[in-house]
């Protein structure tokens, strides 16, 4: 935590001082958006209420369908050019679930070398999302295609905060560009907690810098008296327990003709046997992800991504060599979006699973899960700064551990959300 506070303070001081200085010839810009939503859910209790659901909004605590009018998010993004090579960005956000009224989503300083033939260098320092997603490339790390993110990129927004620096080499050709990049970061030791103890989710809520997320009640029915009995009932994304930095490496190639291809390798390198004073556990989490985004026909964008990895916690069994918990995971999605004169229509299909690899499912530490989801979205631009989106969604999932708590092993969630976004 001490590393992150120092890093954030440095970024914020430099940014605010540059904005306040009237002598700089380069100005800053303020952008943002406010969402208003009407959500109709089925009777499944949502994960934000510690229930077994996987969407952002679920049914009432009485097990009834719910019609909810809410403000899912309001974000303010300040970008500042300090010099021609140095820039800064801070995103402040409110959402209807976070514990602080206003929190920080991203805050970073960026430097790029002057234009020149050959290789250009870029450095990013601060707190920001790992560059995995190919769908979340609109303002404020949102998707221009759907309201919710895929399961893969929902998890990126929940747990994979980069608190450190990224170095990127950019090689530009006549019709293409190659990016080679890598990063070192701290305070990512708890990444994997939600995925192992709750499972995948599909929604549009990123966990802000000083926020937290609830873990499902049924996990404690299963883990009572077990090795995770001291785990907090909240997931906290900001913990550095062993002073070992994590890293990611990536390749990104894009051209106007062929589209964009990327590959990322991620490893938080933490010691998976640690528990800190706040009840947070360290999970050794690693994965590889590959993806493609491009125009496949007139006005038609196609995106596909896949991720494979594992998250582990606990001491090794001296007989089997297995950790107390070892969850392998896989997810993939395909999205097709057609641009209309005043909007777009999009469809996304995805699969996701976790596989219990530790051999102790009989004790209740069962992380086996599989499921799929289908999301449709219709957008209509009422005017340039006002967008209406209608998104029906089906999430079907099966998780063995729920049965031990008297909950359905198999669930299907159906929801419809109408979202009005004002951009400024």
For the chain, domain boundaries: 2-423
Quote the mean pLDDT of the chain.
90
Highest mean pLDDT pick, 4-8, 187-191, 272-276? 187-191
Q: Bridge-partner residues for 331, per DSSP?
A: 307, 352
387-423 tens-digit pLDDT: 999 999 999 999 988 888 888 899 999 999 999 999 9
Quote the tokens at residue 371.
């499921």
* 391-411 core/surface letters (b: 16 or more CB in 10 A; e: else): bebebebbbbbbeeeebeeeb
C-alpha 180/C-alpha 309 separation (Å) is 21
Quote the tokens at residue 293.
């985004």
Q: Give the rounded percent of residues in the chain with a pLDDT score beyond 90.
A: 73
Q: Which of 390, 410, 387, 406 is nearest to 398 (CA)?
A: 410
Residue 62, pLDDT > 80, answer no
Candidate from 137-141, 146-150, 404-408, 411-415 with smallest mean pLDDT: 404-408
* 103-135 core/surface letters (b: 16 or more CB in 10 A; e: else): bbbbbbbbebeeeeeeebebbbbbbbbbbbbbb
In terms of pLDDT, which residue wins out, 158 or 65? 158
Burial class (CB in 10 A: 0-12, 13-18, 19+), 224: exposed
Report residue 230's pLDDT band, with 50, 70 and 90 as the boundaries. Answer: confident
Q: Which of 279, 277, 246, 245 is nearest to 264 (CA)?
A: 246
Confirm if 389 and 421 have CB atoms less than 8 A apart: yes
Burial class (CB in 10 A: 0-12, 13-18, 19+), 13: exposed
DSSP state at residue 215: P
Burial class (CB in 10 A: 0-12, 13-18, 19+), 221: middle
DSSP 3-state assignment of 361?
helix
Report pTM: 0.92
Q: Bridge-partner residues for 265, per DSSP?
A: 249, 288
Question: Mean pLDDT throughout 141-148?
Answer: 98
Q: Bridge-partner residues for 391, per DSSP?
A: 417
- Topology of domain 2-423, per CATH? Porin (2.40.160)
The reported pLDDT for the residue numbered 360 is: 61
Residue with tokens 């140095």: 86
The reported pLDDT for the residue numbered 361 is: 56
């Amino acid at each position: 935590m001490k590393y992150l506070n120092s890093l954030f303070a440095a970024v914020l001081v430099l940014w605010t001082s540059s904005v306040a200085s009237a002598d700089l010839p380069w100005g800053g810009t303020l952008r943002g958006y406010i969402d208003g939503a009407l959500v109709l859910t089925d009777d499944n209790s949502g994960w934000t209420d510690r229930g077994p659901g996987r969407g952002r909004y679920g049914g009432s605590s009485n097990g009834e369908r719910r019609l909810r009018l809410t403000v899912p998010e309001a974000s303010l993004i300040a970008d500042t050019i300090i010099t021609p090579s140095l820039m800064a960005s801070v995103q402040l956000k409110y959402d209807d679930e976070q514990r602080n009224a206003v929190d920080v989503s991203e805050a970073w300083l960026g430097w790029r070398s002057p234009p020149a033939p050959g290789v250009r260098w870029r450095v990013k320092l601060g707190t920001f999302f790992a560059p995995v997603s190919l769908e979340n490339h609109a303002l404020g790390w949102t998707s221009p295609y759907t309201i919710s993110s895929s399961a893969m990129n929902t998890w990126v927004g929940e747990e994979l905060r980069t608190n450190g620096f990224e170095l990127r080499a950019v090689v530009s050709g006549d019709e293409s560009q190659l990016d080679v990049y890598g990063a070192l970061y701290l305070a990512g030791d708890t990444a994997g907690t939600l995925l192992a103890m709750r499972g995948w989710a599909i929604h549009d809520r990123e966990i802000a810098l000083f926020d937290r997320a609830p873990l499902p009640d049924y996990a404690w029915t299963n883990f009572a008296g077990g090795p995770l009995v001291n785990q907090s009932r909240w997931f906290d994304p900001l913990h550095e327990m062993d002073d070992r930095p994590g890293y990611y490496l990536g390749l990104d190639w894009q051209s106007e003709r062929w589209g964009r291809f990327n590959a990322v390798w991620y490893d938080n390198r933490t010691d998976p046997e640690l528990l800190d004073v706040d009840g947070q556990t360290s999970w050794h989490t690693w994965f590889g992800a590959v993806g493609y985004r491009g125009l496949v026909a007139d006005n038609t964008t196609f995106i596909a991504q896949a991720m494979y990895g594992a998250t582990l916690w606990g001491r090794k069994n001296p007989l089997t060599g297995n950790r107390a918990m070892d969850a392998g995971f896989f997810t993939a999605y395909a999205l097709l979006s057609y641009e209309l004169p005043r909007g777009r229509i999009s469809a996304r299909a995805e699969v996701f699973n976790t596989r219990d690899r530790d051999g102790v499912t009989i004790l209740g530490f069962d992380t086996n899960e599989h499921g799929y989801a289908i999301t449709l979205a219709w957008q209509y631009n009422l005017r340039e700064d006002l967008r209406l989106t209608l998104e029906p969604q089906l999430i079907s999932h099966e998780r063995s551990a729920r049965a031990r708590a008297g909950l359905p092993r198999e669930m299907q969630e159906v929801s419809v959300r109408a979202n009005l976004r004002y951009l400024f």
